[in-house]
Amino acid sequence: MPVTVSEHSSHGSLSIPPSTDDGTSNGTATPTIAQSVPAQSFVTLESSPLASEADRESQLQFLSEQLKVEKRIKEGAENLLLMDLNGALRNQVESELATAKKKIQVIQKSMESVSGRTTPKRSLDTNGGGRRKFTGQPLQPAVEWKEEQSERDDFRTAMHQANSAIKALVLLSRQHSYDHPASSAGSPSTSPSISTLPNPATASEVELSRARIENMAKLIGLLQRNVRVKYELDVGEVVHAVLPSLADKASKQARATAYRLIRHALVDSHSVRRLGEQNMDWYIVKSLSRDNKHTVEKEQVIKLIRAVVDIGSERHSPHSATGSGTVPLSDAVLRALIAVAEYPEDPFKPICVQTLTEILLIDIELMARTGGIRVLLHALSEGPMEMAPLLAAAFLHIVDSPKTRAFLAPGTDLEIALSGITDAYGRGPEYKDKIKGCTAIVSSMLRTWSGLMYCCINDMTAIRVVIDCLRVPSLETRELILDMFFDLLNIKPPEWHRAFIDGRRLTTYRKSRHSADLGHQPEIPHKPQDTLKLTDQYIALLILVFSRAGLLDALTSMFEESSVGSALSRKATLLMAEILQKANRVLPLSIAASIQALPRVFSLASDYDDNEHRIVGSSALSAIDSFNRYRSRQEPAVKGDTRPRANSIEEAVRRGQRQAEQVKLKVGMQMDDKTFQTLLPETQVMLTKDHTKWNFDTLQDLIEGPLHNAKRMEEAIKASRYIRKLMSFFHPFNHRFSDVANTKTNQRWVRLACSLLNALMASTDGIRFLQEDEFLGQLVKSFDQLDPLTPTPVSDPIFSKKRVQETLTGGYFEMLGTLSKRTEGVELLEKFKLFTAFYRLTELRSRDDLIKGIIENLDYSIDGHSRIVLSKTLTSVYKHVRHYATNYLGGLIRNSQTANAWMIRLLLTQLYDPAPEVRELAVRFLEEACESTDVLQMVVEMQPTLDHLGEVGHPLLLKFMSTPTGFRFLYAADYIDRQMELWFHERNLHYVVHIEVFLAKAFSQNVADDTDNDFLAFEGIVPSHFYGVMAKTELGCEVLQEKGHFVEFAHFIRQHGLESEDQEVILKLKSVLWAVGNIGATERGLPFLEEEEIIPAILEIAEQSLVLSVRGTCFFVLGLISSTPQGAEILDDYHWEATLSPLGLPTGLCVPVDVEKFVSIPHWDCVASEAVDDTRLAPPESDEEMEVMTAIYNLANTVIANTASRSLTKMKSKPEYRHIFSSPSMFYRALHTISSQKYKLPVRRYIFDLFNLELDADVIQQLSECSISLRIPLTAQEPAEPSEPEPVHAPEPPSFRPISVRPVVDDSDDEESEVDEKEAAAKKPRAPVMSLRPKSRIIGFR
């Protein structure tokens, strides 16, 4: 109702709003006419000199009450101004606000005056000296109190506005206005939210809907801005306020806003439980069943469901299995969501599939009961394909645990993912995208332990089916299946594989593009190529499984299709050749030999009875041999071996180049005088200053040949002044060389200048010439032009940033670098004080190009100023300069063949850099350098302090521990004891997560595009483990024995090795297995395993554990144990064979001889995928109702659904059936049916439209009553289990909480009596009990 604002300021009154019993204001404090006190009373009270102490106390109390009143008025006026008010009303409110502020000031001054006269009497405390004690408080607490008070005021304001908005929504209900007219009129609300509301009794439905939407939107904004308000609001009140907006009569925008408001009101599981008590299920089911015209509403209701799942779900505890949580959704809501997820034309299908996948991982029992697993399996096969990786990952997670994989039927359910490949026969090229997506799913499945072992059940049936698709000659998409195997086995075809597939010869000697730049780009050595990784061990198992499943035979079948050969058959040959190469590298010799025997190929090649077979076999063997020979020549050289390989393709080219260069130099050195004198004029240097007219080739031959002879150099300098003419071209101030454009062609002049300087420094006359020439002096002056303190600044200096980028000026740094490679050159640089110029240049802030040019071109092989310049850039005041210099220093260390102490010392200095980025970079380079034993020993002897690095320096400290000297150093610093406790309790678990995350990334589809630093840093080799590093030294083994940690590890493995449900124990078991495996990977640590006899226990877990990821962990751990010859020998006794290098040393890979035993899973019985709801309803009261319900049942059958729908349409048109479609009880029967059985989305929508009932609060209440009255007790039902009589059930209203299949006991006397009455009523006619099973009678057939 409109608010009347009184102008109490005109007569000086203080208005007091109505108050509740506890003294607080009821509603918003707004100006109204109330008690008033004359303003002159303040003066009277203040000026009365005869007022007693009691009078002053009463005055202060009265003034404080008046101050509270005025503050409430001020607060109410401020709240009103936040609303949309018309001009006149806003002016009144602003006037009242100004008046209230003035009165507050007057009251505060009066209180200060009164309290000022009374305070001395209370606080005056005179002692002997007549001094008064200080009784004040510090100022800071007062400030804090004001801040807290303002926060409380803001929250109180927001809370008040929220309550006002809820009250406004309640008032906007027509029912509310009809039921309580007196209450609403008797106490008119002055809330700004309510003052502008339309009258519910007279306003139209459109106006009411608009007002509801506006108020709900304001409340949503309030909840978004003030999170604390969410926790104070009762969700039940919010739902009660928005119920009219959820009714069918409301607009779709109103329903969408209502769902959005409810979602924002949810904060925790308690609020979700309160929501579940509000009877909202049928609203949500109806909203989910609407068509695409109501996308706004469906979007918000799906978001609400996702919020309920996210906030209200109870995840499994660490001690329980995956999927054992509870999701607070009823079966009715979940089946409605499932119907949307399986309807292909619904735009919300992808998000519903994703929501069901999340529910699957939380509460798999609920999904199984409602048929959600079946829908997700269908989506995995049919799409959308962008959801397939998510679905595959979820199902593979389910398969890992025995408790959850029991919900999948072995051999049938998950194999539906293969249907895209197996159904490809007869499809056209348009089916290619479907097969491509399917191969990606199969690839992701086979890259996990759960997927691989699941596909190996029933004698590897699933894998054999995929491989057998290669045998179908007319299948045009077999190339995609071949690509899948390339991807699975991590085979990256070389650049020349296309030539191999096209059938061209590979044995031609030609210089590859890679070798063209061999002399210009120094090769950066990396880790040895033959270092085997964790992924290689898994690939070894894949090759073993695929070979047992018949992959090589299937590839051979592709050869036999044509004796001429095709691109597809040659690609199959390439795959076979790559598999043989991989097998030779990662599998034990005996197993690899059986694979490489290729009995079928050799039998074809030796089949002289059939020429076509012999041609096919011989061609395949010839192609494989050609591939192997060419591949061996293309292999890069091993790290540390700088000698070019004699059998490489480039060797002949290198040999010819070296011989030509030696002959050319020899001829040039022996050139006679006449020829030399002829060459000088031919260069045109003496004739013209235009370098473009010079004969560059002749000039280059002259410099690289004869001028290296001291006699010829002396003649060129003194006799003909040729060198002086040539060097004048390179003088900076001549602007000849320094003005040449910086192009790829012109870079040859830079190389020529470097060759000339080398020739000059090769002779005494040349060095003397450089000392006397102006070349170096002009360079120093050019650098001085950049000095900001120079007295004569130059507008366009030689080394300006533009000139360095656009001209050959940057080439001067290469020339100076050439001089720094020789002792004579370093002396020249020192004489001309060029190093001093370098020191000044490194201090320039914005000239990174000059700093890079200096440190990249200087030579550091000679101890002197060059290294000092590098050291100065490493300690520059600018972080980006230090970062670049550290990166360059790391490259120097990486490229150096021997350990250089000065480089390591400079790199250790960077460990103390103030910037964390520089420290991390230095740690990474130092860790890489410490791969060399010599460097590691050198660093340990330097004993750097690394405690300040924290986690960044942890890998480096582990490397220090691997040496006896480093271990003693760290043990003395108490680092060992601290880390042992930390690893024993925490870091073992972190190690498991680190490795499993790496393996997931390494086997993901987008490894090549992965730029994650963790992935790049972890190159596949098992990362260092603290216990494994300890076992490398004798002192470490002694400490490990003394602590007794290994004994505890062994005891834990024996006690919990076969654990299959407790997730926390399983994670700890994996961590213990990794610790034991890393200890057993060292020669000193293996005796610990032998002493405890733990290897047989690990083998038992690997072959019998029901948790598949634990089996995989044991597989990798056994590979670690096989890293030593003794460990490989022990495992060989248990029929696990280790892979050996050509020298007979173990490589750290180990596979079982009996692979079927390792990958086999015990058979399990699938639990019922969909539980039959045993809830029984009372039978229909008439034959007409029975016919309607039977037709509704038949709608679930797709065969007879059309006939049933026609029958229902006919019934609805007949007068004797019309009352049925308006009956709440029949409506509830229909809703109960679609909430307990599978109905497609259009059918659900048809059933809702069939009844002439619109959902609102009254209908929902009637449905709740029907849920009680129609449900018959157990005595009238046939007991499912005679031994366990089912209790009488008094149902609750539908809620978000999961509805259990069996009813729940309720001891309420009233409800029991009501149930007894219904039971007696049901017994009288003795009609057959009605269940949800479809009737045999079919309506509509003749």
For residue range 1151-1177, list pLDDT tens digits in order: 999 988 898 888 888 876 565 555 678
What per-residue confidence (pLDDT) applies to 501? 67
Per cent of the chain over pLDDT 70 is 75
What lies within 8 Å, CB to CB, of 1072 at 6+ separation is: 988, 1049, 1052, 1053
Give pLDDT, residue 996.
87
Q: Is the pLDDT of residue 1130 over 90?
A: yes
CB 1225 within 8 A of CB 1181: no
| DSSP assignment of 28-92 | -----------THHHHHHHH-TT--HHHHHHHHHHHHHHHHHHHHHHHHHHHHHTS---HHHHHH
Q: What angle do CA 272, 275, 276 make, to 5 degrees?
A: 90
Q: What share of the chain is helix, strand, coil (3-state, %, to 5)?
A: 65, 0, 35
pLDDT at residue number 959:
84
Distance (Å, rounded) from C-alpha 482 to C-alpha 943? 54
User: Could you tell me which residue, 128 or 1273, shows the higher pLDDT?
Assistant: 1273
Dist. CA 692–CA 686, nearest whole Å? 13
Distance CA 324, CA 168 (A): 43
CA 1147, CA 140: separation in Å to the nearest integer? 69
Q: Taking residues 1048-1066, report their average pLDDT.
A: 90
pLDDT band for position 541 (cuts 50, 70, 90): very high
Half-sphere exposure of 3 (CA within 13 A, CB side): 29
Q: What is the pLDDT of residues 576-623, one digit of tens each?
A: 888 888 888 889 988 888 887 777 777 777 777 776 677 777 777 777
- In sequence order, the 6+-apart residues with CB closer than 8 A to the CB of 928 are 890, 894
Q: What is the pLDDT of residue 563?
A: 63
Residues 730 and 756: their CA atoms lie apart, in Å, by: 11
1250 closest CA partner among 1272, 1220, 1280, 1225: 1220
Q: Is the pLDDT of residue 136 over 60?
A: no
**Do 635 and 585 contact (CB within 8 A), yes or no?**
no
Q: What is the mean pLDDT of the chain?
A: 77
Regarding predicted confidence, which is higher, 356 or 75?
356
Mean pLDDT of 20-26: 39
At how many degrees (to 10) do helices 1183-1194 and 1224-1234 cross?
30
The Cα–Cα gap between 873 and 892 comes to: 15
CA distance 445 to 427: 24
The confidence score (pLDDT) of residue 175 equals 44
Among left, alpha and beta (phi > 0; psi -120 to 50; other), residue 1135 is: left
Asked whether residue 49 carries a pLDDT value surpassing 60, the answer given is no
CA-CA distance, 779 to 802, in Å (whole number)?
17
β-bridge pairing 1136-1140 and 1146-1152: antiparallel
Mean predicted confidence (pLDDT) in 755-763: 88
Model confidence at 512: pLDDT above 50: no
> According to the model, what pLDDT value does residue 1119 have?
92
pLDDT tens string 442-489: 888 898 999 999 998 888 888 988 888 888 876 667 888 888 898 888
Of the given ranges (512-521, 616-625, 1051-1060), which has the lowest mean pLDDT? 512-521
Q: Averaged over 1175-1201, what is the pLDDT?
A: 85
Q: What is the pLDDT of residue 1126?
A: 93
Ranking 202-211, 453-462, 1208-1217 by mean pLDDT, the lowest is 202-211
Cβ–Cβ < 8 Å for 569, 562: yes
* Length of the chain in terms of residues written: 1342
A 10 A CB-CB count for 774 gives 14
Average the pLDDT over 728-736 and give the result. Answer: 88
Secondary structure (3-state) at 922: helix
pLDDT the model gives residue 146: 42
pLDDT at 708 over 60: yes
- Which residues, in sequence order, are CB contacts of 1059 under 8 Å at separation 6+? 1065, 1066, 1069, 1107
Whole-number pLDDT of residue 307: 93
Q: Before 384, cis peptide (omega within 30)? A: yes
Mean pLDDT for the stretch of residues 323-343: 88
Q: Name the pTM for this structure.
A: 0.73
- Predicted confidence (pLDDT) at residue 2 exceeds the cutoff of 80: no
pLDDT digits (tens, 9 = 90+) for 968-996: 888 888 888 888 999 999 899 999 998 88
121-125, 337-341, 412-416, 546-550: least confidently modelled range: 121-125
Is residue 503's pLDDT more than 80? Answer: no
Q: Is the pLDDT of residue 162 over 70?
A: yes
Query: Which residues fall within 8 angstroms of residue 341, CB to CB, at 6 or more apart?
Result: 349, 352, 353, 355, 356, 372, 375, 379
Q: Which residues pair with 363 in a beta bridge?
A: 324
The residues, any chain, with a CB within 8 Å of residue 749's CB and separated by 6 or more, are 691, 737, 740, 808, 811
Question: pLDDT grade, residue 151 (50/70/90)?
Answer: very low
**Which pLDDT value is given to residue 85?**
75
pLDDT at 1342 over 70: no
733-746 average pLDDT score: 88
Selected residue with higher pLDDT from 1117 and 619: 1117
Provide the H-helix boundaries in 412-519.
419-422, 432-446, 449-455, 457-468, 478-488, 497-502, 513-516
Residue 339 CA to residue 302 CA, distance in Å, equals: 13
Q: What pLDDT score does 352 carry?
A: 93
Specify whether the CB–CB gap between 1084 and 1124 falls below 8 A: no
Range name among 530-534, 553-557, 1006-1010, 1079-1083 with the lowest pLDDT average: 1006-1010
Question: How confident is the model over 63-87, as a mean pLDDT?
Answer: 80
pLDDT at 1114 over 90: yes
DSSP label at 1147?
E
Phi, psi of 1006 (to 5 degrees): -115, 50
Q: CA of 481: how far to CAs of 436, 551, 575, in Å?
A: 8, 11, 11
Contact 359, 308 (CB under 8 A): no
Looking at residue 408, the DSSP 8-state letter turns out to be: S
Residue-wise pLDDT tens digits, 793-851: 777 788 888 888 888 888 888 988 888 888 888 888 888 888 888 888 888 877 888 88
Q: How far apart are CA 543 and CA 546, in angstroms?
A: 5
Give the per-residue pLDDT at 1075.
94
pLDDT band at 26 (very low <50, low <70, confident <90, very high): very low
Instruction: Answer whether residue 137 shows pLDDT above 60.
Output: no
pLDDT score of 665: 58
**For residue 658, what pLDDT band results from cuts at 50, 70 and 90?**
low
Task: State phi, psi for 899 to the nearest 5 degrees.
Answer: -80, 120
Of all helices (H) and strands (E), which one includes residue 1157? helix 1155-1159
**Per-residue burial over 815-826, b = 16 or more CB atoms within 10 Å of its CB, e = otherwise:** bbbbbbbbebbb
Q: Is 80 exceeded by the pLDDT of residue 428? A: no
